[in-house]
Chain A
Amino acid sequence: MDPKVITLTVNGRKHQVALPPNITLLRALREYLGYVDVKNGCEKGDCGACTVLLNGKAVNSCLVLAWQANNAEIITTSGLGSAENPHPIHRAFADEGAAQCGYCTPGMVISAKALLDENPHPTEAEIREAISGNLCRCTGYGQIVRAIQKAAEIINKEGDAS
């Protein structure tokens, strides 16, 4: 159980942090590094609130041991853009009313990002499938699906930059 110093690059910023082995990536991000935009909804991979990009792939950070992410690149919603300089996915979510309580949103945004990185022209069914690991209790998903469609349009037109 001795801690070990690991390196996590989060949203482009390199962190070195000493962690014991039983700390999940979720807890490392939230409690040790302060990335509280990554939410804890169930801590067992059922809800997707803690979704991050881990070396480009959307994963539940609650199921990854932080040591396993040593030297990895991690992207969270706050790494895609900011309120002042939002990412096209952020803008589309805001314009389509895709965030209600907002607790699933950071994870939802990351799943959308992973989808659009791989598939710039997704169908509605592909979008629904891509966010099927991200539960939302408020929206009924319709506005989220439309936001991702809109984000795809913006990105295809203007590019992926925030």
Chain B
Amino acid sequence: MKTKVKPLPPVNLPELRQVGKPLRRVDAMGKIVGKTLYAADMFMPNMLHAKVFRSTEPHARIKRLDVSKARALPGVVCVMTNEDLPQGILVTDMPGQTGQRRRASSDTHVLAKDIVRFVGDPIALVAAETLAIAEQALKLIEIEYEPLPAVFDVIEAMKPNAPVVTAPNNIVSQYKVRKGNVKAGMEAADIIVENTFSVPFVDHAYLEPEAGLAWIDDKGVINIRVCTQVVEHFRSIALALGVPQNKLHIHGTMVGGGFGGKEDITVEIFIGLLTQKTHRPVMLEYTREESILAHSKRHPYQITHRTGVTRDGKITAAEITLIANSGAYVYLSPYVLLYSTGTATGPYRVDNLSIDSYAVATNNPFTSAFRGFGVPQACFAHELQMDDIARKLGLDPYELRSKNYLKTGDYGVNQKITTAAWLEETATRVLEALGEKTPSSGSIKVGQGIASYMQSYGRIMWFHDTSQAWVTLEMDGTVTIRSGIPDLGAGQVSAVCQIASEVLGVPLEEITVYHTDSALTPLAGTSTATRQLFMSGNAVFQAASAIRQVIIERAAQKLEESPENLDLADRKVIVKSDPNQYLPLREVIALCASEGKPLSNLALFKAPFTDPIDPENVQGPIWPDFTFGAFGAEVAVDTETGEITLLKTVACHDVGRAINPAAVCGQIEGGGVQGIGYATMEEVIVKDGHILTPSLSEYLIPTACDVPSTQVIILESGTGLGPFGAKGIGEPALTPAAPAIVNAVTDAIGVQIKSIPITPEKILSALNQNQNT
């Protein structure tokens, strides 16, 4: 390897007792032995089974809808259509935590009213005594459609006379960036490189299809037990059901994978309505096919980069256009688009910059959040563009990158980088781990590729994000945490336990966490935006620290020591200068309790707050901070069949501080493999609005045989805004993987492929085209 590994700047990371250890996660054993009850795993007596009747047309007027035969079927208890809804408004905007206004255009109908806009649009609900009867009832629903002109392609949808999916002109969101002097920058360039890249619809393909159980309790409260990333939806659900917010109680379960697909409301309103109507418990469990039909997809994008560069590799200007396919409804498209706009140039400094971005409505499945939230698409484009520029200049891809990497204090697209930006540190370690390229042999060509990225963690700051946590030290010295965090499997609840364990000196196994309950646990905000460790980690840290202070102060009094000289560890208050001198924690707790000192604390952590930016020129702080890192891959391409074999994958991220290195490693490897799937095989193929990959037989995700074990390199700058200097890693883990794979394939075959997935056929046709030209 030519490139030298960049030495790490000095960091100050104190050795901790619990944090930084790869401890067994608190949720692990329950899941492994099968004790954890997911949303579909709890039944109730007298429970009804629900099914949803959905549109088979991409755009149509409902001429006639007759549910009378379904209603008449013995065993059917309830059939509902839009006419039967108390309110019927479905809020698809970000859940308002602090009362910010939602976009009016984002509201739609729970059940289609007159018009359906995509194949899968819900039209009617059935509740029946058995699942078989509910399924049968769906077949008895009669519907006649009057097809309406439909539009599927974003470019078509932007044309003046296009069929209107979202009024007035299908453009559901639009941003501009104008910075520096692009014209002058382009003139200063030695070459200008222009490319258009595209990425497809992608499904989350979590193993657990959406499910929920709803019932009304003795207080008249509608209870909904559901797998969701957002318990705060209880407010929108209450609105849809026409009940006060305090009559709607969400019991969030352990989520069998979310990745953004359970960020929007899924089954909640349907079962809420049916239980409201029937006064019986109602279960709704999507089949895999319905899951793929009903939930959001990752946005397809077309991204054009026009970049001016000097001969020695300095970017002088860039013009970027991003067009996202928003599908049939708005959902989170405006925010996804903002994320890709704000990271369109990637972790590179571009002073002369022009960006135009659009999210465009079509009669396709709707698109919304998916791990990375617009950044993987942007990263795919900027990292392929960087490699193409390097090729055109005859520079090493890393060398080109290193000349343009952002540094702390520099401005990205819109805001200043304020924490460590370890781009060279991560990329050079990836290169070192990749090592010398394996030699090609015959028709098998080997290539290596890397990608760098930056990605925010924490929500958009004008959402005024908060998280609350309630920590209690029990009389026996055990700890109870109550937090509304939804756990998607990333270790969200275990991480906050580990933090409390550190702060209070209580072993992890003596901490119990109650979580994800909209009524009984303090609201912690959404498990989205790589925010839970940052937000709820800090909230738990605050709450635990407040209790720690009470304990330490009381112990200081008793021991006649200064509080600064005391520490909490191993269920004891110890004297730092003489660890043999200590008080058992329980003794101090007893003292505090008898004196009425608080051993319980409800803390609220606030992210930095800002005001909304001007969409006409996206400038100013939007996100609290960024994570930086790199991914590398070595691939072997069979140039006769187009098949790809991954020989080696390496990921290196600065995670700030790894609270649980095993969990961090799991995020990095798992996210990387999702990126590998994105690069090599995943596509929800949609033709004229119809999904041609309706199940996991057609929609392929990587199996254990498709990927090598990723070499994970965890760096810790300690500069993050999370507890103990942690940054976020959930979404960033995925972002750079796909472009690194594609760059490696390009390196192997010498032809750039500009769209994913790079199926064997796509590789072969690229090779053929290259031969012909």
Establish whether A and B are touching in the complex (CB under 8 Å). yes
B72 part of interface (Cβ distance < 8 Å): no
CB atoms of A44 and B207 under 8 A apart: no
A83 / chain B contacts, CB cutoff of 8 Å:
29-30, 33, 35
Known: A46-B697, A106-B32, A137-B259. 16 other contacts (CB 8 A): A37-B33, A41-B207, A41-B696, A42-B288, A86-B29, A86-B32, A97-B22, A97-B663, A99-B27, A102-B489, A136-B207, A137-B205, A140-B702, A140-B707, A141-B673, A142-B710
B620 / chain A contacts, CB cutoff of 8 Å:
none
A6 part of interface (Cβ distance < 8 Å): no
B residues adjacent to A (C-beta < 8 A): 22, 24-25, 27-38, 40-43, 204-209, 254-259, 285, 287-288, 488-491, 662-663, 665-666, 669-674, 695-697, 701-705, 707, 709-710
CB atoms of B703 and A143 under 8 A apart: no
CB atoms of B669 and A142 under 8 A apart: yes
**Least Cβ distance of A10 to chain B in Å?**
12
**Least Cβ distance of A19 to chain B in Å?**
13
B673 / chain A contacts, CB cutoff of 8 Å:
139-141
CB atoms of A103 and B709 under 8 A apart: no
CB atoms of A99 and B705 under 8 A apart: no
- The A contact surface, by secondary structure, is loop
Determine the distance from Cα of A127 to Cα of B708 in the docked complex, in whole angstroms.
12
Closest 5 CB pairs between A and B? Answer: A37-B34, A101-B489, A102-B31, A103-B256, A140-B673
Determine the distance from Cα of A6 to Cα of B256 in the docked complex, in whole angstroms.
32
**Least Cβ distance of B333 to chain A in Å?**
23
Given contacts A132-B703, A137-B205, contact A77 B709 (CB under 8 A): no
A133 / chain B contacts, CB cutoff of 8 Å:
703
**Least Cβ distance of B164 to chain A in Å?**
36
A61 part of interface (Cβ distance < 8 Å): no
A105 / chain B contacts, CB cutoff of 8 Å:
31-32
- The B contact surface, by secondary structure, is loop
Given contacts A42-B696, A78-B35, A132-B703, contact A139 B669 (CB under 8 A): yes
CB atoms of B32 and A128 under 8 A apart: no
CB atoms of B34 and A78 under 8 A apart: yes
Closest partner residue, chain A, to B671 (CB atom) = A140
A144 / chain B contacts, CB cutoff of 8 Å:
704
A82 / chain B contacts, CB cutoff of 8 Å:
33, 35
Bits for A37-48, please: 1 = Cβ < 8 Å to B, else 0: 111111110110
B704 / chain A contacts, CB cutoff of 8 Å:
127-129, 131-132, 134, 136, 141, 144-145
CB atoms of A49 and B207 under 8 A apart: yes
B22 / chain A contacts, CB cutoff of 8 Å:
97
CB atoms of A102 and B256 under 8 A apart: yes
Determine the distance from Cα of A132 to Cα of B265 in the docked complex, in whole angstroms.
32
**Least Cβ distance of A121 to chain B in Å?**
18
Closest partner residue, chain B, to A101 (CB atom) = B489
A94 part of interface (Cβ distance < 8 Å): yes
Given contacts A94-B24, A97-B25, A139-B669, contact A44 B34 (CB under 8 A): no
Determine the distance from Cα of A76 to Cα of B710 in the docked complex, in whole angstroms.
30
Closest partner residue, chain B, to A136 (CB atom) = B207
Determine the distance from Cα of A41 to Cα of B51 in the docked complex, in whole angstroms.
17
A113 part of interface (Cβ distance < 8 Å): no
B255 / chain A contacts, CB cutoff of 8 Å:
101
CB atoms of A101 and B208 under 8 A apart: yes
**Least Cβ distance of A32 to chain B in Å?**
11
Bits for A116-157, please: 1 = Cβ < 8 Å to B, else 0: 000000001001110111111111111111100000000000
A80 / chain B contacts, CB cutoff of 8 Å:
33
CB atoms of B32 and A103 under 8 A apart: no
B36 / chain A contacts, CB cutoff of 8 Å:
102
CB atoms of B697 and A94 under 8 A apart: no
For chain A residues 6-49, which have a beta carbon within 8 Å of chain B?
A: 30-31, 36-44, 46-47, 49
A-B contact pairs, 27 of them (CB 8 A): A39-B256, A42-B695, A42-B696, A43-B288, A44-B695, A44-B697, A47-B207, A78-B34, A86-B32, A90-B29, A94-B32, A99-B25, A101-B208, A102-B27, A102-B28, A102-B31, A102-B489, A135-B703, A137-B674, A138-B257, A139-B666, A139-B673, A140-B707, A143-B662, A143-B665, A143-B666, A145-B704
CB atoms of A36 and B41 under 8 A apart: yes
A54 / chain B contacts, CB cutoff of 8 Å:
none
**Least Cβ distance of A134 to chain B in Å?**
8
Determine the distance from Cα of A101 to Cα of B491 in the docked complex, in whole angstroms.
8
B663 / chain A contacts, CB cutoff of 8 Å:
97
CB atoms of A103 and B207 under 8 A apart: yes
**Least Cβ distance of A104 to chain B in Å?**
5
CB atoms of A141 and B287 under 8 A apart: no
Determine the distance from Cα of A41 to Cα of B662 in the docked complex, in whole angstroms.
26
Given contacts A41-B208, A142-B710, contact A78 B33 (CB under 8 A): yes
**Least Cβ distance of A110 to chain B in Å?**
10
